[in-house]
């Protein structure tokens, strides 16, 4: 066995300079659990900062923030958000759909939808899809009081 507490911990342990001799038996479990947690957090941070996450070249992120005529968090608002999710995610080109409720005083819009598309063609397919157009006509135009739409590509 190496000088580290567990062979699978050697990389993290060497970074932290934690040696086997410094551990008592009952602390090995705590250390190993902490090492796994640290490795998980580190992996998450590296993933969040690398090109392997987020938008890839050519993909489009479509966002829209909006207010509803319904009171915030009401049954009617929940139904609109649930129906939006159900209807819009039934369009095959929609990926990573998310619905959000505003939580910051810096922005006074109530809600947001976010979704991604593999490319411009998929975005155009979505924009012209009968289910999208029906949702806009029957629900969006009758229940949304104001909105701002933004679409992004990777730089």
Paired with 100 in beta bridges are 112
> How far is the C-alpha of 78 from the C-alpha of 97, rounded, in Å?
16
Structural contact between residues 150 and 63, judged by C-beta atoms closer than 8 angstroms: yes
Q: What is the mean pLDDT of residues 121-143?
A: 98
Q: Are 93 and 30 within one domain?
A: no
Asked if the structure places residue 13 within a domain, the reply is yes
66 in the same domain as 140: yes
Residues 73 and 141 in one domain: yes
**Which of 92, 95, 70 has its CA nearest to residue 80?**
70
Instruction: Identify the three-state secondary structure at position 120.
Output: helix
Domain holding 108, by residue range, is 60-153
Q: For the segment 66-99, what is each residue's pLDDT rounded down to a tens digit?
A: 999 999 999 999 999 999 999 999 999 999 999 9
| Domain shared by 30 and 102, yes or no | no
Cut 0.85: pTM above it: no
């Amino acid at each position: 066995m190496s000088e580290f507490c567990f062979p699978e911990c050697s990389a993290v342990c060497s970074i932290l300079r934690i040696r086997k001799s410094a551990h008592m038996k009952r602390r090995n479990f705590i250390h190993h659990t902490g090492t796994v947690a640290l490795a998980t957090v580190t992996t998450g941070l590296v993933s969040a900062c690398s090109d392997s996450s987020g938008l890839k070249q050519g993909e489009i992120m479509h966002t829209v923030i909006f207010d509803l005529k319904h009171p915030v968090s009401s049954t009617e608002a929940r139904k609109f958000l649930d129906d939006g999710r159900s209807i819009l995610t039934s369009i095959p080109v929609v990926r990573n759909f998310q619905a959000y409720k505003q939580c910051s005083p810096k922005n006074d819009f109530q809600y947001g939808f976010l979704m991604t598309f593999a490319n411009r063609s998929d975005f155009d397919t979505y924009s012209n899809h009968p289910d999208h157009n029906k949702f806009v006509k029957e629900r969006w135009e009758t229940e949304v009081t104001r909105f701002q739409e933004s679409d992004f590509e990777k730089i």
